[in-house]
Amino acid sequence: MKKQFKTESKRLMDLMINSIYTNKEIFLREIISNASDAIDKLHYKSLTDKSVKINKEDLCINVSIDKTGRRLTISDNGIGMSKEELESNLGTIAKSGSFDFKNDNARKENIDIIGQFGVGFYSAFMVASNVRVVSRAYGSDDAYEWESEGIDGYSINETDKDTYGTDVILTIREDSEEEYSKYLEEYEIRRLIKKYSDYITYPIKMNVTKSRLKDGSKDEYEEYNEEEIINSLVPIWKRNKKDITDEEYDTFYSDKFFDYEKPLRHIHTAAEGTISYNSLIYIPSHASFDYYSKEYEKGLQLYSNGVLIMEKCADLVPDYFSFVKGVVDSPDLTLNISRETLQQNRVLKTIASAIEKKIKKELTDMRDNNEEDYLKFYKDFGMQLKIGVYSNYGMNKDKIQDLLMFYSSTKEKLVSLSDYCSRNKDYKDIYYACGETTSKIDMLPQVESLKSKDKEILYCTEYVDEFVFKTLMKFDDKEFKNVCSDAIENDTEESKELDKLNKKSKDMFNVIKDEIGVSEVKFTNKLSSHHAVCLSNKGDVSIEMEKVMKEMPIDNGVEAEKVLEINESHPIADKLKDLYKNDKDELKEYAKILYAQARLIEGLPIDNPTEISNLICDLMAK
């Protein structure tokens, strides 16, 4: 009886069969990789389940070609599939979530999806007119055959099979405009195995035809068959660095970690000593779509002597480097290690700390020698580094601070803290300013004034930035100073004068302070002449932090202690002094307007916009 495929499967298959996707040859990689997975599963099972007895040496994948019957068969002695598994695994699309065909994407996009993720089992239909899967699950005596010619559906019937495992039997299509017969040629299949499946850890065997001189003859040849292992078996991370091309590294990366973009760097290590291990770590060029979500799981693949023991071993990488992908293989780890004991494991800890140092070194090198790559990296992962600085109470800040970058007002690009400090040796502090965008920060009165004195300021446009500075506290013995807070160094002579003026105006400031409800009001000389007011803060909570806190789901009422600063050289200063003497009511109204302006400049909302608007209009009409 013929059964129908699920809708999504049908559509994928339609795409396969009428494939406009040119890279049809990947079908073999997909089938071999499934076979390898199936063997992995059985092997893994044998390690944890004593009733499963297999001989490790026997595990292999067989590829055979029957030219006259146009058949290509890929067999494995892996875990196999029961009738139900055949039904659910092959009757429906890969559950891996690689595809979302629900919305009718343009075909072109679909092709990109194929390119990015590989398509699994159904890719067989790109080259085969008939696909049979004969399988017997390990531990069962029954075998079943799944068969399909494509879209029309599939059937499952009982059959015979001597051994456990799976045979995938493809009937290769007849040649049309496209040549399919090449998939029945030994050399082509060999090429494909080498190209795509060389690092498969089980032998991929093929019966190959060879020729030799006939016995006793000098010029007559005869053909004979010999089984050959086609793949090099040794996984890439165990091979010698100098024998591996960049392309091989990149291909391995994209196959293993499903990333269609090349990684920025790879770090290949072979360590021998008290603890031996091989590791191959990649720094991706971009963040995966789920990177900054809860769903993202960090970790490296963990192998013991070529056998996978954990898909994602989180303990191997610190959170702040959670973006790396890779594998670690150590013969010093036992196979039946559990997740709990893993955390305490001395071997693992040693490897993890070595890996962390390597990643740091690689990133530092990239920062110093390849700015373009580093900026690309930093664009996606800079946030992770910043979070790493202030999480765990700043425990790891010393390890990460060198990797941070911030936008510089004078260089107009991202610079590192050490760059900033080496350029500005004469500064007592590191100046920074916060705001939503660099252009908004540019317009802050305090910033403008410092810029006019050619001071370099770091711009914080991300909400974490200021927390980072608060956590770092110092860099190169310089403190971080928010130019909008009040403690910026000032010309001493002038500041004495200013102090005097402020003392003298104390009573007036008290009137203003009570009216608008800020912590302090004072005159300032740090603004350019055309700016009348600015808002700064006292204490630990800056205005930018107050904004961030207000955005949090739970508003815990944290507010900056605000200081209204009035430009002592602006005409408004004299006007205020005048009003204080002659008209205190009007002074209060001016105070309200000035405070509202200062808040707006800082990007803070005003509580009473109608009142402020009316006050301004009254003033205009005067």
Per CB under 6 A, residues contacting ligand ADP are 30, 34-35, 38, 76, 78-79, 81, 89-90, 94, 96, 120-121, 166
- Residues composing the chain: 622
Residues 6+ apart with CB under 8 A from 506: none
Between CA 240 and CA 243 the distance in angstroms is 6
Between CA 360 and CA 403 the distance in angstroms is 8
Strands 165-172, 71-76: pairing kind? antiparallel
Burial 107-121 (b: 16+ CB within 10 A, else e): eeebbebbeebbbbb
Q: 430 pairs with which residues across the strands?
A: 480
Specify burial of residue 427 (Cβ count, 10 A radius: 0-12, 13-18, 19+). middle
Comparing CB distances to ligand ADP, the nearer of 96 and 569 is: 96
Between CA 284 and CA 265 the distance in angstroms is 7
Comparing CB distances to ligand ADP, the nearer of 96 and 437 is: 96
First-to-last alpha carbon distance for the chain, in angstroms, is 93
Comparing CB distances to ligand ADP, the nearer of 118 and 299 is: 118
Comparing CB distances to ligand ADP, the nearer of 98 and 269 is: 98
Comparing CB distances to ligand ADP, the nearer of 101 and 121 is: 121
Minimum distance from residue 15 beta carbon to ligand ADP (Å): 14
Minimum distance from residue 37 beta carbon to ligand ADP (Å): 7
Minimum distance from residue 119 beta carbon to ligand ADP (Å): 8
Closest CB to ligand ADP belongs to which residue? Answer: 120
Between CA 520 and CA 587 the distance in angstroms is 16
Comparing CB distances to ligand ADP, the nearer of 10 and 575 is: 10
216 torsion bin: left (phi>0), alpha (psi -120 to 50), beta (else): left
- Reported as half-sphere exposure (CB side, CA atoms, 13 A), residue 612 has a value of 16
Comparing CB distances to ligand ADP, the nearer of 203 and 603 is: 203
Minimum distance from residue 171 beta carbon to ligand ADP (Å): 18
Minimum distance from residue 30 beta carbon to ligand ADP (Å): 6
Residue 432: closest CA among 376, 393, 487:
487
Minimum distance from residue 207 beta carbon to ligand ADP (Å): 19
Minimum distance from residue 149 beta carbon to ligand ADP (Å): 17
What is the DSSP code string of 192-211?
HHHHHHTT-SS-EEEEEEEE
Comparing CB distances to ligand ADP, the nearer of 90 and 385 is: 90
Minimum distance from residue 483 beta carbon to ligand ADP (Å): 54
